[in-house]
């Protein structure tokens, strides 16, 4: 049976993936009072570290040193099918993109060159899903820390190719398509928006009405529906210092990162953007039941604090 189901009350899609309960965990408790799973002997070594390539499915892509063999050490960024996917391969895509062979846990632990290579790797795989003949809807995201949904510490991103149009992404595209002017361009032009940095072609800021408390948004200053084929160099200059400063200010290293860009065949009205969201609060009844969120941080004050704290690699506005 297909794992895709639809809530008859809301029309929202659901993915039935009970096999994900067997995922190995090394990030500790996933909730207060929850001791978390106890790794078995087969989980004692990190499956994302060099020398453990046999612990993952065979790689679908890797940037690696010359004359090194697939599924062996020598890689710099490596993409593999998720061993515990939310979708079977005949219905969609679920990949893990391992950001670095070094066993680091936080984005800011990556060196500038590692971050650049990782983000460029994300782009390579996202383009591959866009070109899938099945017409999948790609969505790229990163979970860091147990509170953000990560089960393994080793820094990695994930890429989903969905066989349906996800409602939140459709709603965002519709908002761009129906707006009189691009909402991102309008926000960047608003003198009251608390911008954090302008670095090269990109701007980072705390949106006036963020999707979750503490969100930092990054987008090109000039309108662009899709991110470039090699976004790593410019994004690395912003993502590393800003994520570190944000974590220090809100008091947690747990965070999510995701990419929004026009889906294959979508409208030029879209303006691509990346969002970094710290996860210090658990979503509760109001958020989950009513879809109403409250902000723990004033966006303007948070932007001011990040600007003061971000290392010199993030040039102030």
pLDDT of residue 1: 64
Token pair for 58 = 């065979």
Please say whether the dihedral angle defined by the alpha carbons of residues 129, 266, 170 and 213, taken in this order, is positive or negative. Answer: positive
Does domain 166-317 match CATH 3.40.50.360? no
Rounded Cα distance between 227 and 304, Å, is 27
Q: Check pLDDT > 70 for residue 32.
A: no
**What are the backbone dihedrals phi and psi of residue 316, each rounded to the nearest 5 degrees, phi first?**
-70, 155
> In angstroms, rounded to a whole number, what is the distance separating the alpha carbons of residues 165 and 169?
7
Predicted TM-score (pTM) of the model is 0.89
Beta strands in the chain (DSSP E): 4-6, 13-15, 61-64, 75-81, 93-98, 137-144, 156-162, 195-199, 202-205, 216-220, 255-260, 273-278
Residue-wise pLDDT tens digits, 227-279: 999 999 999 999 999 999 999 999 999 999 999 999 988 999 999 999 999 99
What does the DSSP assignment read for 172-214?
Answer: HHHHHHHSSS-HHHHHHH-TTS-EEEEETTEEEE--SS-SSTT
Mean pLDDT rounded to a whole number for the chain: 88
**What is the per-residue pLDDT for 292?**
84
Q: How confident is the model at residue 19 (pLDDT cuts 50, 70, 90)?
A: confident
| Domain boundaries defined on the chain | 45-164, 166-317
Please determine, for residue 199, whether its predicted confidence score (pLDDT) is greater than 80.
no
Task: Return the pLDDT at 40.
Answer: 40
Q: How many helices (H) and strands (E) does the chain have?
A: 6, 12
CA angle 282–285–291, rounded 5-degree value:
95
Domains 45-164 and 166-317 are alike in CATH topology: yes
Between 20-29, 42-51, 58-67, the lowest mean confidence (pLDDT) is in 20-29
pLDDT 10s digits, 59-102: 999 999 999 999 999 999 999 999 999 999 999 999 999 999 99
Lowest mean pLDDT across 20-34, 100-114, 301-315: 20-34
Largest CA distance in the chain: 58
* Range in 37-51, 154-168, 189-203, 265-279 with the lowest mean pLDDT: 37-51
Residue 275's DSSP bridge partners are 217, 258
When comparing pLDDT for 289 and 162, which is higher?
A: 162
Cα–Cα distance for residue pair 85/90, rounded to 1 Å: 11
Selected from 1.10.1040.10, 3.30.428.10, 3.40.30.10, 3.40.640.10, the CATH number assigned to the domain covering 45-164 reads 3.30.428.10
The region of weakest confidence among 15-29, 47-61, 163-177, 286-300 is 15-29
pLDDT of residue 276: 97
């Amino acid at each position: 049976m297909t794992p895709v189901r639809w809530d008859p009350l809301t029309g929202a899609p659901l993915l039935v993936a009970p096999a994900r309960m067997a995922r190995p965990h090394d990030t500790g408790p996933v909730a207060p009072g929850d001791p978390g799973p106890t790794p078995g002997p087969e989980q004692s070594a990190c499956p994302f570290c060099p020398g453990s390539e046999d612990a993952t499915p065979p790689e679908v892509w890797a940037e690696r040193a010359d004359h090194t063999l697939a599924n062996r050490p020598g890689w710099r960024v490596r993409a593999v099918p998720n061993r515990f996917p939310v979708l079977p391969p005949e219905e969609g895509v679920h990949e893990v993109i391992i950001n670095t062979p070094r066993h680091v846990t936080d984005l800011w632990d990556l060196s500038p060159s590692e971050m650049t290579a990782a983000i460029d790797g994300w782009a390579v795989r996202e383009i591959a899903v866009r070109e899938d003949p099945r017409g999948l809807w790609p969505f790229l995201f990163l979970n860091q820390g147990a509170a953000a949904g990560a089960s393994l510490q080793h820094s990695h991103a994930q890429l989903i190719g969905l066989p349906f149009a996800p409602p939140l992404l459709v709603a965002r595209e519709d908002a761009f398509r129906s707006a009189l002017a691009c909402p991102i361009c309008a926000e960047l032009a608003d003198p009251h928006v608390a911008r954090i940095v302008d670095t090269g072609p990109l701007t980072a800021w705390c949106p006036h009405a963020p999707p979750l408390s503490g969100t930092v948004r990054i987008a090109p200053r000039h309108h662009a529906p899709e991110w470039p084929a090699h976004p790593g160099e410019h994004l690395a200059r912003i993502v590393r210092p800003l994520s570190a400063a944000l974590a220090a200010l809100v008091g947690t290293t747990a965070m999510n990162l995701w990419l929004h860009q026009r889906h294959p065949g979508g409208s030029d009205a879209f303006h691509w953007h990346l969002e970094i969201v710290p996860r210090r609060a658990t979503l509760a009844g109001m958020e989950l039941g009513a879809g109403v969120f409250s902000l723990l941080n004033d966006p303007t004050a948070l932007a001011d604090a990040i600007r003061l704290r971000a290392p010199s690699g993030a040039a102030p506005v």
